[in-house]
Structure 1
């Protein structure tokens, strides 16, 4: 093919700008041996047939510029398919020829199968005599694979000295050997360090510029919209991200100061009760000591004193009573002697006038009467047995025989009846006993509910009490959810449904976020002896926020407190069950509950739990009045049932007892073998009648003896009464003498033990205690009174000890928790209360004010400065994008995009709602300078700022963080085509254009992006200016390609283009042409260079 000659370059182009001058390649793909490609400062076109090695050269250059280059990417991007075989550095170094053979033992054939080395060197010249060469040298052992490939990078001030490498190479390359062979060269075994060095040498600060160069070289295109391309590949990472990190890091110091402030506040709150408790403890200890002195020392002495005074008064009274008793006894004895003489005289007279015979008859009558009574007892017992047995016969010899015959028959029938009655009685008794147990259980339940206000089970309340006692949390701050939920009277019929649906939530403890760690720790370290469920109310509730018209929450009321409102939100969001009165209505809703308590959880699951249906099982309610009333009604009904069952039981028991008695009587009659004479009292009655007749006949014979007998009986009675009186008076006198002796002895004994002297305070206190009992002369009364006083002292002592123990326990628990949380050198015993009280005073007088001042100072100054700078930087960085991009339009206006038209980049501010909200919240969270803030306002602002900082640090909020801080997403970059007529086409996209149009548009945008990155427009100059493009403008017409090249030239770039032969006309816009040739026989490539002004013949040696 003919090679056209380009126009002379004229004056030196862009002196001071590093432009590619040459490319050296050694043993790379089909380029066997050493090859040098000269690159004109005005640009060079690499051309040749397909497959001659153009992309091979660009892949070689990528080895220098990229740590992980993708080979032949431009050809793959333009063809739309992947290469059949992936190229890599190993295959290029070996010079892969293809596959040998067709059998299973086939292998890959290489041009350089043995030990070999390769090198690529890019030499840049700034036109002012400064040379910078960037090289990569690689080696492979004879049997090495791609894993054995060695690679070193070099930065030097001259082209790579290939002869020195070839001549001095001994074995494989090392860093030391390369530094020896190439003096002055900087050798690197890491591309990262190499890239940092060559970017500095070429004057390129940001790696993104080389990323753009790689995109241009491989022909990837924009990869999306103009906005996405600039945002992802062009715009610098905004300083707002670093500023936010620094502000967040600095906030950690404020957080530390805040923790110290919170620590001081918590210590103050923790020790708040210590002064009062310590005072109460001292007062209780003093009162207890006084009480013990009264009981131990004062009471015995005071009681002894009262006993002595009482003994003296008692002895005096007894002495007077004993004297009076002796006088009365003497008079009674004289009266008894007189009556005895009268009786003796009458007895002698009665005997002398025949009274002895009558006395004998009287004794006989008495003996007969006694025998009659004995026989009547036996007879009556026999009659009673007949009556008890229910046998109605005459009490006669014949009747007795009949009764015994009937009794034998009744024994069998009554035994069978007794078994049936016993069974009925047992059943009735069991039923009554069961009901009695139910009544007792129900009464206990009612009593338990009356002793508390909540419907929650007592064991659950005890569990909460344990948690609160251990953690110091007030029970009011940790309610059960059920205590915050109730049903109004008009919706009372929905209680069964609400109880079933909300039971799991209702029985859960609601814990504030700041208490959750302490509660969790206690639950983890202790056996709760049951099930405990806690819910952290600080966690936001997700789900619906507004209830439906028939949702369950509309049937309930919740307490108007913070936690009550949380419960309402929770039920609204997670228990959004529709209430339907007709169970058929459940089919029409996704989640619902019927009036009877059937719960439809989802489309496929409906359930009903009847395990907790009793009134005592209810848990919902602000108090338990309704539960107590329901249980009271249940108790009344149960008592009525019990009364009926108890009456029936008593009736059956009475029947059983009656039957048992009758059966016993029947058996006794059947077994009785006594004769009629053994049972009858008729003979005894006849004997009494005979004795009575004889006595009456004797008395009728001597009528005068009756008067004497009457007088004698009277005298006997008087004497007996006198004798009894004398005995009583003797006993009274003896008792009085004994009492007097005992009183005198007790007085003497008490006098011998003089009572101890008491202090006035103890004496007056004891006198006040004994005053209600009045006169205590009686020792028993004194003992009783002393016992009452002692019991009152013991009771008071117990109360004081309880107060002392409770106060001590509270103090020591306060000290223990203080020591556990913050550590303490004071110990945890009550003896250290004074030290803790002093600590409390120090906190409120010095420590807390100092911490508050330190926090206020840092928050109002350092923190404000950091975050206000961030707010300012968010605006500055966003505006800087426009200030750096919009000047590019001055260049774009000078380059025709098409006839008389040009492109224009537009930047619109599109701050996302999240970013706007973040800035507003951050601004509101910062302190208000120039105005005094109270504690509540500062705490609220700190809490708001802490929430924002925590969200900025949260790894799961990475997307939100980028949205609010990355100002690249706060602008929208578009490209507008302005025609000569004034018409415009906005928001141009390469993906909507034809292939050639797309390449032209991409070239313009890429040129603008490179100019932005290299600062060509803003600085007016760039120290780097080479752009390399493989498969350049293969889809574009010459006019499109010309416009694209002009744009790149206008932005100050040197072009190294690779294109097929049919695109050789591109050379007219460049400084030189280099043709790549390949010998198909030897599979080796070479280069042929042509340029105007230095044109010369070139011998091509294919090695």
Structure 2
């Protein structure tokens, strides 16, 4: 095969023919460098303008943005720039009236500047011209036109450079072809010249580096940056990203459908339960009507039977009343006759008076006995003697009772201690009730330390807005005191109490909640914080620790809360207080907190030590209520013991007072007995005895036999009449009751008839359903009360079933509403994961009227979307993504193989370069081995593992998910970590390179000659290694080994190199090595060096371009044949040559082709 050093009669590749400048730096006007494809020397005194010409060449051939004047070896930005070169700056001088020096310029901003280089391929008979035209825009900036023309041209052929652009149109007409020749951007211009010269992408950068390169540095870095192509990993990754994005979108759609199904999956069952409950309620309503109808029929029958029975009883009773009325009428007539006969007897008047007196005395005796019994009862309870038998004893006892009454009143007047005890008992009872209620709440409700009234308020909001309570957390539910900071807990609870009772309202619920709160009377204090939907990005790192010993360092924010970032910021901004260890520290800080609860906010100091204020049972921080429950249980036990003790003391006081009050009341009642005559029973008893004796004596006196007989008959008749009157009154009452009952029965019978007429007769199906409630309906009882009891029992059972069914309906309805609301208003993290969620939510409110719409959504997801998304995801994972990853991996592996092939070709070329001659000829070989970089090796392993198992993921859902996670892990890292991606996908980083020196004779390595770079070598050795590797790199980038092989550039190659200041510090042997190396590579070299360093290269050059400067501001260049320059060199050195007329070289031996055909661009 052809090597880099194949000989041909004509020089190969494109070489510099001429380089022309117009108004560039101190080269004012037109100047030309004629190289004619030969290796030449650019020399002259320091400061004459050599670097200006080199910078012009670099400007034509290398990307913009360079530091000018680098060819002299500087590494920092100097005063030179495109602008200074166009204006022709040559020095600085002070202006009149100004202290600062200003730049001196040869030209004004209205000028043009042109750089042009013409390259020829003598063997291929082709020419290519590069040119750049610069002019200032009206705004002051530089405008650059780039030309890449497949013809041999000079500046003169461009014509007059008018500002209107006519020259561009003329150039396009005369030299244009199927491809553009004039460009506005360097990128397009670069692509054109790379294609024309057959160069690789890094060739121009390497060309610029070779100009001033003195040492190689690290071999790895140099080979990767200048000898190897970067590859297409980024473009390949972009293609893979498209496929991955489709996979992500498919997975996102699958996850969304899965999440939607998870939320809606319970809906059909609850909907069936709801519909069944609704149907059952309708059925029970009909059953209740049927039961009522059937029982009304039965009641009507029973009522009619009862009515008939009671009517018969009333008729019998009325008959008895007629008989009683007749007999009583006859008796009253006979009584009158007997009374008249008694009155006509002589002793009857005296007997009548005695009877009247006895009746009065008997009445008085009864009253006196009643009063005396009451007196004796009171006296007995007061441990006093019974009622005295004479008036004087009675008065003495009244005086004693009066004294005791006054003492009792004085005792009862002192009520202070009893009142205090009663108030204390009431206070403790209320406290005990509160603690009992709180303990019961903490035992039954989810763990939280938030007080009951705030929880009830939140529940009210959540129930109205259909929001789960965990989406409206209190601040206190997301914070707790660290275990190692419990000694600060009382102070922190006091400081954060109000903030902890504030609700956190996510953006998704803010509008609805605010609208409700604004229009509703809450009867409570509510403070809530609106928290943005997007996660809050804290200033600096999210993991940045809070300031030392501040409140935030004593607290833990709940890790699983989506509001963690917001709380972190709130704690830092609202509570920046430092936990001060002593008073001195408190006085020194602007905002601080002590363990005792003293809070300082600059000039304000606050401490709240009120009794019971923020005690341990009232702590509100924390999401576990176990400690709070234990504290409340302890407080409840203490309150119970204290209440029992105080209650016992109070009860003793109360019992004693009640006893005193009862004694006082009895004494007061006893004092009311102030008349002894009303209590004198013995005197009245004696009077009655005397009157009884007088009546007895009267009736037993002789001559009263007829009176006694009449009186006896009258007494018997009056007794019978009185009996009959009583019987008649009782029967009349019974008769009235029966009549009233019959009226009620008739009214109820009429009501039943009306009800039956208004109601429709139940169907057989309803009667069958109602029969389950009427097991004894076919064996009716004649008792109306039995029917009523049956009605009450059956209706109660139906009502109970209705109530139970209503509860079932309400529960099912609430479950349905919860499901629909959770779907319509998903949690914040769900909304963030699936931004298009709302598109699948049925329109309108999530109430029961929309149930059918949600059931349709569930059916669509179950039967269509979920299977389709699952199938689509599997297809993307198994086919597109798998193919994409395989293609991405194969592209990287292909580049790895190409690099190995290139290194092999490069080593084949290096085999022909003698690196050292002593002690025996050697050559350099590039050694390539896999990188030990673990990141690259891990990536290579992960890339292999990321390729999905097509058969496995089709058969096993778990394997499918695992394959997706492996793909996602790798590709997400590639996407999110561009630095890591660029490192691990840069195949150039997959290998490490060293240069090993081998003996040419036996191809054995030279001991101790393995090079990682030039850092450990001497100056000469470093330069030799540098230019050996640089030459190999140039061969690759310039396409020198493709001159006869085709490929990139169709076999074209670029053979021009500028070497500036390369010999100032090299020994002659190393300098000759460099020139011979370039000669072996068939490179045309423009050697730039001061005129005192040219002896080494004289044997290699064909001509000299001598740069001179007049007046330190006008530079020009002389093109001299080597022999002519050798004749004049001493005169140049001594400054004796001032007349240079006739010294310019017109042509060189190889400038034989004057009319080159245009370059074919394919």
Q: 1:747 to 1:39 in 2, by over 3 A?
A: closer
C-alpha spacing 1:36/1:700, structure 2 compared with 1 (3 Å): same
Report the CA distance shift for 1:912/1:815 in structure 2 as closer, same or farther (over 3 A). same
Alignment map for 1:87-236 (pairs within 5 Å): 88-91=82-85, 93-100=87-94, 104=98, 107-112=102-107, 116-128=111-123, 129-139=125-135, 147=140, 149-157=142-150, 160-163=153-156, 168=160, 176=168, 179=171, 186-206=181-201, 208-219=202-213, 221-222=215-216, 224-236=217-229
Give 1:656-805 correspondences, 5 Å limit.
Answer: 680-681=676-677, 688=684, 691-692=687-688, 694-695=690-691, 698=694, 701=697, 704=700, 720=722, 723-736=725-738, 738-740=740-742, 743=745, 757-771=761-775, 779=784, 782-783=787-788, 785-801=790-806, 803-804=808-809
Map of 1:319-718 to 2, 5 A cutoff?
319-322=311-314, 325=317, 352=348, 355-363=351-359, 365-366=361-362, 369=365, 421-449=414-442, 451-452=444-445, 454=447, 521-522=508-509, 526=513, 613-614=616-617, 635=636, 638-654=639-655, 680-681=676-677, 688=684, 691-692=687-688, 694-695=690-691, 698=694, 701=697, 704=700
CA distance in 1 between counterparts of 2:37 and 2:908 reads 24
Of 298, 304, 316, the residue aligned with 1:312 is: 304
Does the aligned pair in 1 maintain the 2:15–2:1055 contact within 8 Å?
A: yes
Deviations 1:1054-1076 (A, max 9, x none): 21121122320232452324253
Contact kept in structure 1, 2:25 and 2:84, CA below 8 Å: no
1:21 to 2, 17, 40: 17
Cα–Cα, structure 1 residues 158 and 628, in superposed 2: closer, same or farther, change >3 Å?
closer
Mapped contact 1:46–1:1076 kept (Cα < 8 A): yes
1:303 matched to 2:295? yes
Aligned to 1:50: 46
SS in 1 for 2:42: strand
CA contact 2:134–2:145 (8 Å) conserved in 1: yes
CA contact (8 A) 1:615 1:630 kept: no
In structure 2, C-alpha distance between the alignment counterparts of 1:471 and 1:735, rounded to whole Å: 61
Partner SS for 1:1100: coil
Please say if 1:1071 is aligned against 2:1071: no
Equivalent in 880, 894, 909 of residue 891 of structure 1: 909
Tell me how far apart the structure 1 counterparts of residues 509 and 121 of structure 2 sit (CA, whole Å).
Answer: 74
CA contact under 8 A between 1:139 and 1:173: conserved in structure 2?
no
Aligned 8 A contact 2:206 2:1034 in 1: yes
Does structure 2 conserve the Cα–Cα contact (< 8 Å) formed by 1:120 and 1:136? yes
d(CA) in 1 for partners of 2:751 and 2:399?
80
Aligned to 1:879: 897
Q: Please report how far the alpha carbon of residue 989 of structure 1 lies from its aligned counterpart in structure 2 after TM superposition.
A: 2.8
Which of 1093, 1100, 1103 is equivalent to 2:1140?
A: 1100
- Return closer, same or farther for 1:961/1:615 CA change in 2, 3 Å cut-off: same
Let me know the Cα RMSD of the aligned residues: 5.9
Q: Separation in 1 of the partners of 2:463 and 2:307?
A: 65
What is the CA deviation profile of residues 386-440 of structure 1, one whole-angstrom value per residue up to 9, with x for unaligned ones?
999xxxxx977788789989989x79xx77x767x43322322222112222232
Residue aligning to 2:1027 = 1003
Stretch deviating more after TM superposition (823-832 or 1012-1021): 823-832
Q: What is the distance in 1 between the residues matched to 2:945 and 2:1116?
A: 70
Q: 1:939 aligns with which of 930, 955, 961?
A: 961
After superposition, what is the alpha-carbon deviation per residue over 1:179-207, rounded to whole angstroms, capped at 9, x for unaligned?
A: 3897559343433332222222222241x
Distance 1:730 1:372, change over 3 A: closer
Shift of 1:249: 0.7
Q: Deviations over 1:810-838 (max 9, x none)?
A: 55776684794425699988688678767
1:914 aligns with 2:932: no
Q: Distance in 2 between matches of 1:1053 and 1:471?
A: 83
Tell me the equivalent position of 1:1085: 1115
SS at match of 1:236: coil
Whole-Å Cα distance in 1 between the matches of residues 463 and 966 of structure 2? 29
Indicate how the Cα distance of structure 1 residues 1040 and 749 shifts in structure 2: closer, same or farther if over 3 A, else same: closer
Kept after mapping to 2: 8 A contact 1:203/1:1023: yes
Once the 2 structures are TM-superposed, how far is the Cα of residue 309 of structure 1 from its aligned partner?
1.0
Structure 1 residue 1084, shift from structure 2 partner: 3.4
* Counterpart-to-counterpart distance in 2, 1:923 and 1:218: 43
1:636-672 CA distance string (max 9 Å, x none): 5533432332333344445566777889999999xx9
Pairing partner for 1:31 from 27, 30, 33: 27
Structure 1, 42-51 or 984-993: larger mean CA deviation: 984-993
Q: Distance in 2 between matches of 1:381 and 1:716?
A: 40
Q: Distance in 2 between matches of 1:721 and 1:943?
A: 109
Partners of 2:755 and 2:466 lie apart in 1 by 58
1:986 to 1010, 1013, 1017: 1010
The alpha carbon displacement at 1:134 in A equals 1.4
Distance in 1 of aligned mates of 2:400 and 2:151: 156
Partner Cα distance (1:374, 1:279) in 2: 79
Contact conserved, 2:278 with 2:809, CA < 8 A, in 1? yes
* 1:319/1:888 CA distance change after superposition, 3 Å: same
Do 1:60 and 1:120's aligned partners in 2 also have CA atoms closer than 8 Å? yes
Contact persistence 1:996–1:1033 (CA under 8 A): no
| 2:1002 is the counterpart of 1:969 | no
Deviations 1:360-406 (A, max 9, x none): 44245347647857997999999999999xxxxx9777887899899
Shift of 1:693: 6.4
Asked if structure 2 preserves the Cα contact closer than 8 Å seen for 1:75 and 1:1031, the reply is yes
TM-score by length of 2: 0.71
Equivalent residue number for residue 1045 of structure 1? 1075
Matched residue of 2:992: which SS? Answer: strand
- 862-871 vs 731-740, which deviates more? 731-740
Taking structure 1 as reference, are residues 377 and 315 closer, same or farther at Cα in structure 2, changes over 3 Å only? closer
Partner of 1:944, secondary structure, is helix
Q: Structure 1, residues 143-186: CA drift from partner, whole Å, max 9, x if none?
A: x99x35454333335555445667x4556876537638975593
The TM-score with structure 1 as length reference comes to 0.74
Shift of 1:62: 2.2
Q: Is the 8 A contact 1:175 1:189 kept in 2?
A: no
Secondary structure at 1:870 match in 2: helix
How far 1:526 sits from its partner (Å)?
3.9
Equivalent residues of 2:382, 2:666 under 8 A apart: yes
Aligned equivalents of 1:445 and 1:232: distance in 2? Answer: 74
Q: Does the 8 Å contact 1:155/1:198 carry over to 2? A: yes
Question: What per-residue deviation string (whole Å, max 9, x for no partner) do you get for residues 668-713 of structure 1?
Answer: 99xx9x9xx9655499678637635643663675685999899998
Check conservation: 1:1025, 1:1052, Cα contact below 8 A: yes
Distance in 1 (alpha carbons) for counterparts of 2:457 and 2:885: 49
Give the direction of change, closer, same or farther, for the CA distance of 1:696–1:174 in structure 2 (3 Å limit): same
Give structure 1 stretches of 5+ with no counterpart: 1-8, 389-393, 487-492, 508-517, 544-557, 568-582, 584-596, 600-608
> Measured at CA, do residues 26 and 658 of structure 1 come closer, stay the same or move farther in structure 2, by a change above 3 Å?
same
Which 5+ residue runs of structure 2 have no aligned equivalent?
385-391, 498-504, 518-525, 544-557, 565-580, 582-594, 598-608, 825-836, 1046-1050, 1129-1138, 1145-1162
Query: Number of matched residues?
Result: 995
| Residues 826 and 836 in structure 1, CA contact (< 8 A), matched pair in contact too | no
Relative to structure 1, the CA distance from residue 1018 to residue 321 in structure 2 (aligned partners, 3 Å threshold; closer, same or farther) is farther
